[in-house]
Chain A
Amino acid sequence: MVDQSIAGPVTASASEGDRSGRARIVILLLCLGLAAAVFLSLTSGASDASAVNVIGGWLFGTVPDNAALSARDSLIVYDIRLPRIILGMLVGAALAVSGAVMQGLFRNPLADPGLIGVSAGSSLGAVAVIVLGATILAPVTALLGTLALPLAAFCGGLATTLVLYQVATRRGQTSVATMLLAGIALAALAMALTGILIFMADDRQLRDLTFWQLGSLGGATWAKIASVGPIIVLALAAMPFLARGLNALALGEATAGHLGIPVQRLKYTAIVGVSAAVGASVAVSGGIGFVGIVVPHLLRLLIGPDNRYLLPASALLGASLLLLADAVARTIVAPAELPIGIVTAIAGAPFFLWILLRKRGVVDL
């Protein structure tokens, strides 16, 4: 305040309270961070395959001394690590952006696809296809091929989100308590139905399911990327168009409408987009929790809640963090690997508790 009177109000206040400059710098740094995370993931793993050699060979045509070793390295880097990295980035970005969008939609920083049952709904859809794909749902899987799994997960997530929104929102006001409790109820219901399906599963399906439910990027292949990649990319590409509307929504639905935002269309676009992104992510990687709540929250502390910056920054940080978590999951018990959902939960759950402690007394939950 003192500085301002000396410097004159115009120059001193010209950027006061404007965090867009800082947001741009943070986004730039996050780009660099993601590049570093990609490099780390390419070069680390259970095998000693040298990504540096492979990339060097690819870029400069240099042939390493041992051609056989080089071919093996190339295989590991191209067909194992690279698809896994791309999938990790897609899933991380999808989960983090979905979290940010849901929080904007529900006007609450605690909304998270994993927390309020959307992921559980997606899981139910996916498990139904895995277990019943060869029997009852055979016509569906025959028709849709590899798209059956992500589509089923999408439908499960969409149904859960729609029910949740109807239950928790009255006259444009979302009751947080109702939202969280309804989420618990829906998640319990989805998990019970999933349990019935698991009960029907055979031994081989059971092993797949258990691992998949804990969350893993282990089965990443180029084919999987081809089936869910476009869904996630499309959903993510639509999200920035919601940013301004979601900002206005922070003032309440009525006020957003008064500002000229088509609120109903915004809400439905957001719900469909989130369901698509979460559904596709769950279909390929199972239940990876806490990314959607931790990433946007951290970024809001850094750059503020403006969704025009929050959404791209969430995508970048979500992708980076998931790559790092996956690197930990792959190496900590090598040559075996830990489900990545365990890593994100161990890091994310205490963080979530910290959010609650910080909020207590400040924001009425």
Chain B
Amino acid sequence: MIEARDVSVDIAGKPIVAGVDFHARPGEIAAIVGPNGSGKTTFLKALSGELAYTGRVALNGRDLCAMKPVETAVQRAVLPQATTLSFPFTVREVVKLGLVGGRSGVLPGEDARLPERALARVDLDGFAGRFYQELSGGEQQRVQLARVLCQVWAPVLDGKPRYLFLDEPVSSLDIKHQLIIMNIARDFARRGGGVVAILHDLNLTAMYADRIFVMHRGRLAATGSPQDVLSDDLIEKVFDCRLRVGVLPAGNMPFVLPQSAA
């Protein structure tokens, strides 16, 4: 369980996140949604220990402030929005960096095969020998996800659930790979881990999230199940955009929803 109480983050004297209460349970996908600049990424950075915050964050019952990097690395893996590399690493070498902490959770000796398995999971079979810098943005994002998966391959380790923190994991992906990645997240949760994901696509969010946290101007605007949260009023208030939930387009205008995936 991840519990955040009254978390606030100031950057350069400006409050970016103010008094956010948050929790992520094992077995669930907790989605954070909200307009650009609403503090989603900043909040996730506080949650991952990257930014200083006030308030309290507990990771599986332990105060985040009291944990060393090597300890938090066992409990959760973090996928940033985009990662640029400073040197010409191959895809395999990048994915292997996920094993640097040595607690993937597979049997000893199986670690060596993990990069292949992780790459296969994100639909990048055969990419191991390519140079990371030569890949497209969407492929790079999936390589990073493979690295993150290696770090916490077993969703539960030593009886404790582990977590995936995903910052816009599908933002640069085509629809097929959006579904693949979200299914990986759901599978990770079903096997006992927890997922915290920042998402922009409200349809994907409704389809996959067990609980939605809506952020607006650094504060929590609403929280609850997709059915409770996604309402006309909330969307208008938060996104400043008059939209209606569950209304089909008029006439023969085509629309494609991820929910229709076989």
Q: In residues 69-114 of chain B, which contact A (Cβ within 8 Å)?
A: 69-74, 77-78, 80, 83-94, 97-98, 100-101
Is B254 an interface residue when CB atoms closer than 8 A count as contact?
Answer: no
Of chain B, the residue at the smallest CB distance from A174 is: B86
Residues of B within 8 A of A262 (CB): 68-70
Q: How far is the CA of A248 from the CA of B80 in the complex (A)?
A: 14
Residues of A within 8 A of B93 (CB): 17-19, 304-306
Closest Cβ of chain B: how far from A59's Cβ, in Å? Answer: 44
CB pair A261–B100 under 8 Å, yes or no, is yes
Is A259 an interface residue when CB atoms closer than 8 A count as contact?
Answer: yes
What total of A-B pairs shows CB separation below 8 Å?
Answer: 100
Is B138 an interface residue when CB atoms closer than 8 A count as contact?
Answer: no
Given contacts A260-B69, A300-B87, contact A16 B80 (CB under 8 A): no
The CB with the most chain B CB atoms within 10 A, among A14, A17, A252, is that of: A17
Which listed residue, B84, B101, B129, touches A260 by the CB 8 Å rule?
B101
Number of B interface residues in the complex (CB < 8 A): 38
Q: Kindly supply a per-residue 1/0 record for chain A positions 317-336, scoring 1 wherever the CB is within 8 Å of any chain B CB and 0 otherwise.
A: 00000000000000000000
Closest Cβ of chain B: how far from A109's Cβ, in Å? Answer: 7
Residues of A within 8 A of B87 (CB): 109, 250, 300, 305
CB pair B89–A250 under 8 Å, yes or no, is yes
Residues of B within 8 A of A128 (CB): none
CB pair B78–A258 under 8 Å, yes or no, is yes
Q: How far is the CA of A199 from the CA of B226 in the complex (A)?
A: 77
CB pair A258–B88 under 8 Å, yes or no, is no
CB pair A251–B97 under 8 Å, yes or no, is yes
Which listed residue, B71, B84, B98, B129, touches A259 by the CB 8 Å rule?
B98
Given contacts A259-B151, A261-B100, contact A305 B92 (CB under 8 A): no
The CB with the most chain A CB atoms within 10 A, among B80, B85, B86, B101, is that of: B86
CB pair A247–B73 under 8 Å, yes or no, is no
Q: How far is the CA of A250 from the CA of B100 in the complex (A)?
A: 13
Residues of A within 8 A of B83 (CB): 251-252, 255
Residues of B within 8 A of A47 (CB): none
- 5 additional A-B residue pairs with CB within 8 Å, beyond A17-B128, A260-B70, A305-B89: A4-B126, A251-B83, A252-B83, A262-B70, A300-B88
A sample of 7 cross-chain residue pairs with beta-carbon separation below 8 angstroms, ordered by A number, consists of A107-B86, A250-B85, A255-B78, A258-B69, A258-B73, A259-B73, A306-B93
Q: Which residues of B are in contact with A by a Cβ distance under 8 Å?
A: 45, 48-50, 68-74, 77-78, 80, 83-94, 97-98, 100-101, 116, 125-126, 128-130, 133, 151
